[in-house]
Amino acid sequence: MSDAVASFATAAGIWGLPLPPHFRDDFSLHVTRPAKTPLSLRPGIICHRMHLSPHDVVALQNGIRVTSPLRTMLDLAAVLQRDDIVAIGDYLVCEHPEDFPAPRNALYRLDQIATYLAAKRRVRGLPGAKRALELVRVGADSVPETRLRLAIIDAGLPEPVLNYVIRDSFGRAVAWPDQAFVEARLSVQYDGEHHRTAEQQASDNWRNRLVADEEWDQLIVSSTDVRRRGWDGVARLVGQRLSRLRHRAELSA
């Protein structure tokens, strides 16, 4: 179809945007065609019909046309849950400074996404995208980190700081928490499956010693914790740890 543009989950796969499992396992080809074209029914193809502006479409080197990352996020906001859209937004804006273990440049700035959405009218995913953007933050490296932060916020707890660096008395960086409660001196780390290797565990143990040396408390969250307790259960653990630290500080004051 010469007028078709790869879109929705297909475009997300092309751009590497994070998707929930049931969308990653969808092998249908999603395409968008102009709004007034006839309905196209073909096996394995899901055809969406809507207007796309020239800025919404990117032509790849192989000639395939695909919706831009921002348009893809906007379209998916009509079919995905809030946390999934926030995770996509976090992915687009994620960046780390040069002294981070893995420096990273953002694909878009938060204000660029806000400007893009503000210019749109009568797009089905627009309300969801705007609501999700209010929760997008710079510094989340993975979907689990995003979901943990959102669970913490939903539990009514203070929002953790991302991209925080724990430094020693000489100002040297010693640890980069996934999420930091700076006033309470609590570091929260999400350790995914790759943290099970012997080499990574040795690195994590060294990190844990350095964090303790700087008199920070640390809470390690694993994928097993999430499977057993759910994200809301993990958020309760964070709240309990913060309460204990607050009580300890009051006793020592």
What does pTM read for this prediction?
A: 0.92
How would you class 43 by CB atoms within 10 Å of its CB: exposed for 0-12, middle for 13-18, buried for 19 or more? exposed
Average pLDDT over residues 114-120: 97
pLDDT beyond 70 at 97: yes
Question: Mind listing the pLDDT tens digit for each residue in 98-115?
Answer: 888 888 999 999 999 999
Closest listed residue to residue 75, CA positions, set 23, 2, 145, 112: 23
Question: Mind listing the pLDDT tens digit for each residue in 7-38?
Answer: 999 999 999 999 998 888 888 999 999 988 88
In the prediction, which pLDDT does 235 show? 98
Q: pLDDT confidence of 208, banded at 50, 70, 90?
A: confident
Question: Mind listing the pLDDT tens digit for each residue in 40-57?
Answer: 778 899 999 999 999 999
In Å, what is the CA distance from 137 to each residue of 40, 88, 92, 109, 235? 39, 11, 10, 10, 18
Q: 230 in the Ramachandran plot: left (φ > 0), alpha (ψ -120 to 50) or beta?
A: left
- Enumerate residues 6+ apart whose C-beta is below 8 A from 86: 132, 135, 136, 146, 150
The 3-class SS string of 121-153 reads: CCCCCHHHHHHHHCCCCCCCCCHHHHHHHHHHH
Average pLDDT over residues 225-237: 96
How would you class 35 by CB atoms within 10 Å of its CB: exposed for 0-12, middle for 13-18, buried for 19 or more? exposed
